[in-house]
């Protein structure tokens, strides 16, 4: 195949083929990165929060919240809105760069206004 290339184009052909090889190598490396688990963040779960509350040096605030969770009064992913003051462990976990704070937590339902239904004309 390279025999068909005229000698005055061989240099350009070789540079083009080198560029294609570099591009193919970069594509293969990118595919390997994409296939690997490059997202190393740990999802925060209820089990992680329970273990955090059971540590010897856990704050009284998180221990008290753990008691509320055990009594089904609230859930762990609600700790920011239902616990005042927020335990220092929560700030540490959220700012650590190792954890992803409750990605699967369901958002609270939207509050419905206290307005009555609009009047509808009944069609006969």
Q: For residue 99, which phi and psi values (nearest 5 degrees)?
A: -110, 150
Predicted pLDDT at 27: 86
Answer whether the bond into residue 112 is a cis peptide, omega within 30°. no
Contacts of 61 (CB under 8 A, 6+ apart): 83, 85, 86, 87, 88
**pLDDT score, position 36:** 56
Query: Residue 38 corresponds to which tokens in the numbers above?
Result: 């490059």
For the ranges 26-30, 45-49, 91-95, 108-112, which has the lowest average pLDDT?
A: 108-112
Tens of pLDDT, residues 27-66: 887 776 655 556 678 889 999 999 999 999 999 999 999 9
Say which range, 4-18, 64-78, 102-116, has the weakest mean pLDDT.
Answer: 102-116
The three-state DSSP-derived secondary structure of the chain is CHHHCCHHHHHHHHHHHHHHHHHHHHHHHHHHHHHCCCCCCEECCHHHHHHHHCCCCCCHHHHHHHHHHHCCCCCHHHHHHHCCCCCHHHHHHHHCCCEECCCCCCCCCCCCCCCCCCCCCCCC
pTM of whole model > 0.85? Answer: no
Q: Which pLDDT score is estimated for 112?
A: 62
Please tell me the distance from the alpha carbon of residue 72 to that of residue 25, in angstroms, as a whole number. 55
Domain ranges of the chain: 2-35, 42-100
Asked if 48 contacts 101 with a C-beta cutoff of 8 angstroms, the reply is no
* Mean per-residue pLDDT over the chain, rounded: 83
CA distance 81 to 87: 12
Percent of the chain with pLDDT over 70: 81
């Amino acid at each position: 195949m390279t025999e068909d290339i005229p000698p005055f184009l061989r240099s350009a052909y070789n540079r083009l083929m080198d560029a294609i090889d570099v591009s193919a190598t970069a594509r293969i490396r990118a595919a390997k990165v994409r296939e690997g688990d490059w997202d190393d963040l740990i999802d925060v779960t209820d089990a992680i929060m329970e273990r955090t509350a059971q540590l010897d040096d856990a704050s009284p605030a998180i221990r008290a919240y753990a008691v509320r969770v055990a009594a089904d009064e609230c859930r762990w992913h609600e700790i920011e809105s239902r616990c005042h003051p927020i335990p220092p462990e929560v700030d540490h976990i959220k700012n650590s760069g190792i954890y992803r704070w409750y990605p699967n937590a369901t958002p609270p339902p939207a509050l419905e206004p206290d307005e009555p239904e609009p009047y509808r004309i009944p069609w006969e």
